[in-house]
Chains A and B, each alone.
Chain A
């Protein structure tokens, strides 16, 4: 079945560091992919959406790139702030059903 894999469970950074989170997916077609962010005490919220038509998404300083050749979908930010501390989920759209969430990457940014 369809799946997404986030190998990095925890990332610890200082402010102004570069953030890179790796995600790979497995499916028999070309899905729409998302990054969701979850702040403490809240539900997940949509950060970025990338389709096969555009291959890249940008929002709030974050950039996600979709590589169909390597079935990867990375999230990056050039300079993180303490307020970026959160859990980031790579998510695959099954097309009409529900979303498949990765296990999440906890990003901790110290001032």
Chain B
């Protein structure tokens, strides 16, 4: 079974600060994804990647950047965090999308 890990699991940030969420997968999947989960919205796609060096915008990319330096790693970057970005963030890999355990981010 695919293993997807995320770090940190919990993060408290201040408004205007920079936040980096990391994701690692060990199943050699080409595709990786970042979602956020909010009550009433389900999961919404932020960025995704088809492989190392590739990043694509999802449905709600504003305020987020992504980086895919290697097959295994995919990061989500909030350059200037805002309270509206308080959410639970999930990383997934593979066409059928194996999900990590999530990162709970609070921006004060």
Which residues of chain A from 1 to 48 have any CB-CB distance to chain B below 8 Å in the complex?
34, 41-46
Q: Using Cβ atoms and an 8 Å threshold, which residues of chain B touch A41?
A: 101
> Which of A34, A89, A98 touches B58 (beta carbons < 8 Å)?
A98
Shortest Cβ distance from residue B43 to the other chain A in the assembled complex, whole angstroms: 4
Sort chain B's interface into a size bin: 20 to 34
Provide the residues of chain A in CB contact with B40, threshold 8 Å: 103
Contact of A103 with B41 in the complex, beta carbons under 8 Å: yes
Across the interface, do B101 and A89 meet the contact criterion of CB distance under 8 Å? no
- Is the Cβ of A43 less than 8 Å from the Cβ of B90? yes
**Contact for B43 among A34, A97, A101, CB less than 8 A:** A101
A99 contacts partner chain B, Cβ-Cβ < 8 Å: yes
Closest beta carbon of chain B to A86's beta carbon, Å: 14
Q: How far is the CA of A45 from the CA of B58 in the complex (A)?
A: 20
Chain A contact residue count (CB 8 A cutoff)? 16
List residues 9-52 of chain B with CB under 8 A from any CB of chain A.
33, 35, 40-45, 48
B97 lies within 8 A of A99 (CB): yes
Q: 19 interchain pairs (CB within 8 A)?
A: A34-B96, A42-B102, A43-B4, A43-B99, A43-B100, A43-B101, A44-B43, A44-B97, A45-B98, A45-B99, A46-B97, A46-B98, A98-B45, A98-B58, A101-B42, A101-B43, A101-B44, A103-B40, A103-B42
The 4 A-B pairs of least Cβ separation, nearest first, read: A43-B99, A103-B42, A101-B43, A101-B42
Sample of 9 further A-B pairs with CB below 8 A, known A42-B101, A101-B35: A43-B4, A44-B43, A44-B99, A46-B96, A46-B98, A49-B96, A89-B43, A99-B45, A102-B42
